[in-house]
Structure 1
């Protein structure tokens, strides 16, 4: 793009330029504007990345801009990149608009070569060990992240060097050891790349920057974007920052700090510190860290300065901040800050705390939590009443209760999870290459690292249970040993992400305190107080009502305790399973009016009792009853089994005339595609008396309860309507029966339809003439809109569509806004144009999906309906939709 500016100095940007400068670059610029001690540097924009990915080369003008900014950086630092006597070294880091653990890792010490190692040592006051340690780190990071050299070869070489020295700590390797290690690292690099490690500093910088661009489309980055629903076209920025060194000795170090506990939300000082280390050592969990408070003893001046900066950043961002810093010989440098990832519990607690502190409004608090986080808080926790003995204990890095089979590689986790197994991924420490396994696992256990390690940060972001730093574990390829006990792959582990305890075997679970709160129990906890504060505001703010999908009085009662404001879908076909299935079978296959009437007479009192239970549980609230809508094959004997039985009987001369007649009847009713066959309104029109029996049962149940002083509000929903004539015929029959039954009772009955056939959505203006309400059946609307049979395609090829990026997420999980969503929008607008008071709701599974709820708010529906357990999630998201205007992105 002519005239495009592709490179920004840290002094030129600010925090609101995330999409252009990426999260890291925008926040480095913001800290620079605040006057904090940030090393000089510059950011190459996401637009440069987009152009590079589109053409395979840097856009016109980018190289010249980089030269200009690099020259300015050299003037600022008083050093030149590649100078043998006094070299300037830089770090190269990726930085997308949204934090993405799947992106390329940092490369430190770029610019260091054989010729400048001595110069770096001289800069450090003759510290040869420091210089060679920095060089081995560069080759290791550059080889692994830029050139795809297997990282374990470097790690194995380092372990062998330590073993030869008789130590387990790399700090005990001297300059000679590290120089020998550099030589070995170079050989490893050349073996895998076919060329020597680059000795031109500008070539190092160019290759590292291009690797950052390419990492946007790396497999693990694509996987993470799909998991988090991050758009694929954003690209990543590149941050080039002058090096400051935490590995200069005991007066230097590196750390990560949080302004509040990202696991619990508690206020205080949280973080990890490593003396004589570079930044990636902390995040990678290679060495176990010390608590941040220990920095006060090691370097009181830097500690106090850090606390002041932490307070300033939290006040400025008005949120929990995640901070990376380095101390170079007593001088504190800020390398990164961002609004920190947190657990679901911490998200609610922190939002409520900031409201109480007067820092944010309740509307803002509502924006900062999500239905997905609330759902996590509703999962069960371990019941430790039997006091099981812990196998070991680590650091509770991401709360939750997870049990599963132990696996020791990401690949194995993916394989077993695909077979339906729950797994716990066990690693020494995780890295971005483990991302697929971390997504597949129920929980993550590592021997190294703390609350700021890669495993902890990624697990918190994804809502996975995680225990880190269980350093008693001696991990081998497919097993670990702790205190003399061996746990092999396939053995069941239970991990508690709150306490950090690890148990052998499955531990029973109990309801979460948040579920107890929704059930109406008295629960005294800061988490429940926070959830209550935010839920009350969500309920006061939302426009969308929230109903439930329920077929029994028990489910309806629970959903009401969870806040449901009625039933949006009662699936009456579910009431005909079990012992009643035979009656429906007799009804469908009856060849005489007398047989059909007998079956209907037997079903009527059973149906009436069903509706009495539902109306009683939802007294005073609307109950939408969908007339029977089964795929016919679900209520008929198996054609194959019947045919085999009749054939065998004939072969034996034992033919049963009744069974043969049944086979003929089933053959007549058999359908090649039952989902598109005789079901819904079609079944009601073809089998006389079926819908009439149900409508009578509904009306009689309502009249019975009205006589008891209750206030039933039945709504009759006619399924699978595709033409207004179908609805008009059924409505006429319904109105006659209702008028007869409810006369003088005060009961009012609405009659509407389920919009689940594309033609119904496209002719909604006609159908609205005969409907009091529409309820969108998004499951079937998605099937028919896409031409997918859900039962067949999800396991057959959806994985490939997701892999190729055709789907960002399954359209059965989250509403397809462009296609199925457009059908809903058309039907809503055309229906309301004809009938302004037309009630509009949704009763498909999308009614409980957070992102879909925002769409339904935007379209102007009156309510969503979902399973009882998801009612609180839908309530919260409906509130969030009201304060965000339908935008569900809370990142």
Structure 2
């Protein structure tokens, strides 16, 4: 016997008693939509009755090859009968039919990514009966044509343009602008045309249940309609756009979607009916104002699809027939915020003056809005500071560091639209998602320009720097998705007349004609479009962000049973160091000295490596000492009284040398040009020298500490530069520099022991020369599995460990990061051989190496400190694991990731309480 409960009721019975079986905490069972529908019923809000089929049913169905689990269809049939009894109507009744919507609902909000079917239950017979009962012929035929169109596209996969083209032709013939202006008789004609399109595009072999008398017919049995619609919603869980969205937002493929079957409420029953989407606060700015769009005499899909330009929610009360519903909606805004203690996103329908709630969820918001809402809700007493900090997604903070248009530059606004998603972007115009992906992959920044986006455009939206649409409101698909991704977006640019086929835009009131490839700039905060490439500036960390990060710092640095969680920066020059201090970095966790050898200085290090002449090598080394000392003076001065971990030279040797193939080409060219023999001899000697140093696998070759042993003068020079810079600042400026020296790519304890001995000898020489005492800790960078396994052997003679998780990931997997991310990791992710890119989010095996090394080293040397300075140090998902599982003391990341890491570290601390 199957005792798994697969269907949960919500709403009232025929007597008005609530029979809801779920609640808001059951989002993994009922999906977010189903859980919140149940919760709204429990708190007494007006919700049309229905039932929810569980997420587990979806996963069972899809994992069994689209086969229904035992007993599921019987349970759904019982739920249909129960809903019919509660509503006093039957599906398919030719006199008074029950009509339902079939909507998806994943555990996490995925707006627009999966499928919906409205008006299910309409047939030829029930449509006639509904006309007789309501005397609303226009409403019935409008609803029936919508149902056929949606069922054909969503359930049968028939191209939606076939229906849109027929609809457009009817509007043109009738001389009207909108669908609602079409006459009832025209809509009836469309119903028949739509059924013909359906019948001619459905394969009878694939759907024998739709064949009557040897030909396909549009299904006239609502039970068949419902079964096929539910299966289609289950199938949409794995469609391309949903899969891309889950990958983008880190949502597991294994969760499945629930299906909500709900009695229809109609917003297209005339001027006293409407539909809309709204937020209890402004999701773009966080301002405490009602925000959203509505349409009179429309269904919900009309609002989010952007096919009609909407009206702001504040104007609803100006319609006498909607005034009472507007008052009710305002009251519900307050109830929802007080109940959920959050900004809510709602969908509603008004049917002949009666307000019905169709959905609520935590509203997606920009980072700027999230900060303001969190702070104001603390001030209002709705939440505490810990909750406020947890509410801010660390990854979202990147939005606040996005460029803005430089307000000091002069420019003319080409067109204006709605400020749908903040930030500025510059790029080439493209008119399709495929072109956006193609041009982006070729290295071109693009602005995706569309009449309106739809869920199939997601891959292009991800690839684009910015998004512009000529239609749709602030709750359209483009606006919601762009805000969630932190991509600048301007919607509703009505002056733009887009011809996607011709790949051009004509603009009202302007002689300008834009073509594919033309550069434009958009500002999603101001809702403006500018011709050409505008200069951009970055925002400062002030105001609300400063307040929330201050709260985050208090949390992560607390001594509350666990050690403080520190955040450092990877910086190789004084400018990056100063920027990082502005962003709240506490110290430098990684200064990569090889980056100081790039640019014009590359010739100096090349001379040292390649020259056979002792004097020439000596002069090169002296010059390197001079410039490195100067660099460290500036770095240590900027970071006075703060730790600066300086890593000795690390990269593969070939990174300092010319490409041998390019050098061979240059040699051949100079030979052909008849260059002097002295020059050719030097080129040949240089090429022989570089060829002699070539390695089959340089990432595992002469690099890191091995380079210091191969060229022993290099570490001597670098340690001397570090010590001399520190001693100079102490003696001459009275500062307190705190450098630390890190030995890279150690695999055996003896490497560290010998390098420490060399470094200590040089430091003592500098102390004697300057007459100052230097306290320079010397530690090891653990980047190899062997080093982690033998951490207890290295630890007694090391002052700290810092994990280079980039190389540790390479050597744990046997992946070359330079090749893997371009060659096969995308395929691994697509085929689900990997759940995440291990170079972006730390892998469990790599994490275990870090945890084990920390544990071993703490046992051998209790006073040590531990950090992580790979890319994972700026990844929120990795930060929590590094602190709470591996037990490190700090993470170090790039300057612009420091605010993200500060907030993520606070999240990790709260999770550990």
Of 381, 384, 393, the match for 2:416:
393
Of 620, 626, 629, the match for 2:650:
629
Of 857, 861, 874, the match for 1:835:
861
Of 779, 782, 789, the match for 1:755:
782
Does residue 810 in structure 1 map to residue 824 in structure 2? no
Does residue 822 in structure 1 map to residue 848 in structure 2? yes
- Contact 1:713 1:749 (C-alpha < 8 Å) held by counterparts: yes
Unaligned runs of 5+ in 2: 11-19, 204-215, 557-563
Of 682, 685, 698, the match for 1:674:
698
Does residue 480 in structure 1 map to residue 505 in structure 2? yes
Quote the residue 1:742 is aligned against. 767
CA distance in 2: counterparts of 1:120 and 1:212, whole angstroms: 27
Q: What do the CA deviations read for 1:216-269 (whole angstroms, capped 9, x no partner)?
A: 111111111001110110000000001111111111111112110111111112
Q: What do the CA deviations read for 1:523-572 (whole angstroms, capped 9, x no partner)?
A: xxxxx432121011111111221111122222222222222211111111
Quote the residue 2:489 is aligned against. 466
**Structure 1 SS opposite 2:447:** strand
Quote the residue 1:75 is aligned against. 85
Of 712, 727, 732, the match for 1:688:
712
| Greater shift in the superposed pair: 425-434 or 596-605 | 596-605
Q: What do the CA deviations read for 1:46-97 (whole angstroms, capped 9, x no partner)?
A: 0100100111211111111111111111011111111111111110000001
Q: What do the CA deviations read for 1:596-632 (whole angstroms, capped 9, x no partner)?
A: 5444334323222221111111111111111111311
1:140-219 paired onto structure 2 within 5 Å: 140-194=149-203, 195-219=216-240
**Aligned-pair CA distance for 1:881:** 1.7
CA distance in 1: counterparts of 2:435 and 2:346, whole angstroms: 34
Report the TM-score, using the length of structure 1 for normalisation: 0.95
**Aligned-pair CA distance for 1:884:** 2.8
Quote the residue 2:727 is aligned against. 703
Does residue 796 in structure 1 map to residue 823 in structure 2? yes
**Structure 1 SS opposite 2:823:** coil
Change (3 A) 1:461 1:693: same
Of 416, 423, 443, the match for 1:420:
443
CA distance in 2: counterparts of 1:445 and 1:662, whole angstroms: 53
**Aligned-pair CA distance for 1:795:** 2.3
CA distance in 1: counterparts of 2:758 and 2:186, whole angstroms: 91
CA RMSD across the alignment: 2.0
Quote the residue 1:889 is aligned against. none
CA distance in 2: counterparts of 1:643 and 1:173, whole angstroms: 74
Does residue 229 in structure 1 map to residue 279 in structure 2? no
| Greater shift in the superposed pair: 344-353 or 795-804 | 795-804
- Contact 1:325 1:334 (C-alpha < 8 Å) held by counterparts: yes
Does residue 348 in structure 1 map to residue 371 in structure 2? yes
Quote the residue 2:209 is aligned against. none
**Residues matched between the structures, number:** 871
**Aligned-pair CA distance for 1:446:** 1.5
Change (3 A) 1:387 1:121: farther
Does residue 327 in structure 1 map to residue 350 in structure 2? yes
Change (3 A) 1:159 1:660: closer
Unaligned runs of 5+ in 1: 519-527, 887-891
Of 861, 865, 883, the match for 2:892:
865
Change (3 A) 1:84 1:718: same
**Structure 2 SS opposite 1:855:** helix
Quote the residue 2:305 is aligned against. 284
Change (3 A) 1:650 1:120: closer
CA distance in 1: counterparts of 2:316 and 2:750, whole angstroms: 78
**Aligned-pair CA distance for 1:800:** 2.0
**Structure 1 SS opposite 2:360:** strand
Quote the residue 2:757 is aligned against. 732
Does residue 261 in structure 1 map to residue 279 in structure 2? no
Quote the residue 1:436 is aligned against. 459
Quote the residue 1:521 is aligned against. none
- Contact 1:24 1:338 (C-alpha < 8 Å) held by counterparts: yes
Quote the residue 1:8 is aligned against. 8
CA distance in 2: counterparts of 1:405 and 1:92, whole angstroms: 40
- Contact 2:521 2:534 (C-alpha < 8 Å) held by counterparts: yes
CA distance in 1: counterparts of 2:478 and 2:798, whole angstroms: 54
1:748-787 paired onto structure 2 within 5 Å: 748-787=775-814
Quote the residue 1:539 is aligned against. 553
Quote the residue 2:576 is aligned against. 555
Change (3 A) 1:242 1:615: same
- Contact 2:280 2:291 (C-alpha < 8 Å) held by counterparts: yes
**Structure 2 SS opposite 1:293:** helix
Q: What do the CA deviations read for 1:561-589 (whole angstroms, capped 9, x no partner)?
A: 22221111111112223343333233323
- Contact 1:101 1:221 (C-alpha < 8 Å) held by counterparts: no
Does residue 304 in structure 1 map to residue 327 in structure 2? yes
| Greater shift in the superposed pair: 698-707 or 149-158 | 698-707
Does residue 109 in structure 1 map to residue 119 in structure 2? yes
- Contact 1:367 1:884 (C-alpha < 8 Å) held by counterparts: no
Change (3 A) 1:658 1:310: closer
Report the TM-score, using the length of structure 2 for normalisation: 0.92
- Contact 1:102 1:435 (C-alpha < 8 Å) held by counterparts: no
- Contact 2:116 2:233 (C-alpha < 8 Å) held by counterparts: no
**Aligned-pair CA distance for 1:776:** 0.9
CA distance in 2: counterparts of 1:660 and 1:292, whole angstroms: 76
- Contact 1:773 1:838 (C-alpha < 8 Å) held by counterparts: yes
- Contact 2:403 2:425 (C-alpha < 8 Å) held by counterparts: no
CA distance in 2: counterparts of 1:633 and 1:408, whole angstroms: 43
Quote the residue 1:524 is aligned against. none
**Aligned-pair CA distance for 1:807:** 3.6
**Aligned-pair CA distance for 1:590:** 4.8
- Contact 1:94 1:239 (C-alpha < 8 Å) held by counterparts: yes
**Aligned-pair CA distance for 1:683:** 1.3
